[in-house]
């Protein structure tokens, strides 16, 4: 009886886990969307997410983008988000890291690329 119960628990845990598996947006406040605009000061085109720092009017923001294979396939190459480019990033501020936000989409040179 005990092993049937535990087996059931194992299966339940496995199936619920797949339900909430693909987010990674948990520590960002989606109720306070912001747009960060300015020149790109540093750019790391790396996994698991590319990150750039943007000198906005108020402060320097760290902007978390997407995995590099996704960015590449949507036309956002390393050069697209290279240092010196002017970017406008729409996204949500982190509830954990100060001055960090995660971009829902970015616009560079009039071209918009979705990050999600």
Partner 1 sequence: MMPHDAFLILTALEQSGLAAAIRQSMWAYPAANVGHIVALTLFAGSVAIMDARLMGAFAATPPADVVRPARRMAVLGLLLMLLTGSVLFTAEASHVGSNRVFQVKAVLIVLGLSNAVFTGRAVQPLLDSAPAFAPMPRCVRLSASFSLGIWVCVAACGRLIAYF
Q: Which residues make up the interface to partner 1 (CB under 8 A)?
A: 2-3, 6-7, 9-10, 13-14, 17, 20-21, 23-24, 26-27, 44-48, 67-69, 72
Strands (E), 10-99: 34-44, 51-55, 60-64, 86-93
Contact 36, 56 (CB under 8 A): yes
- Which residue lies nearer to partner 1 by CB, 56 or 65? 65
Reference 50, options 78, 92, 25; nearest CA is 78
* Distance in Å, CB of 35 to partner 1, minimum: 25
- Which residue lies nearer to partner 1 by CB, 37 or 67? 67
Contact 88, 24 (CB under 8 A): no
- Which residue lies nearer to partner 1 by CB, 47 or 58? 47
């Amino acid at each position: 009886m005990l092993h049937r119960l535990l087996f059931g628990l194992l299966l339940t845990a496995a199936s619920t886990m797949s339900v909430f598996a693909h987010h990674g947006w948990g520590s960002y406040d989606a109720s306070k969307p912001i747009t960060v605009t300015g020149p790109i000061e540093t750019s790391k085109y790396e996994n698991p997410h590319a990150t750039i720092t943007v000198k906005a009017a108020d402060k320097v923001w760290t902007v978390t983008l997407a995995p590099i294979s996704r960015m590449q396939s949507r036309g956002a190459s390393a050069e697209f988000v290279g240092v010196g480019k002017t970017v406008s990033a729409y996204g949500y501020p982190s509830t954990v890291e100060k001055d960090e936000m995660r971009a829902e989409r970015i616009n560079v040179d009039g071209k918009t690329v979705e990050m999600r």
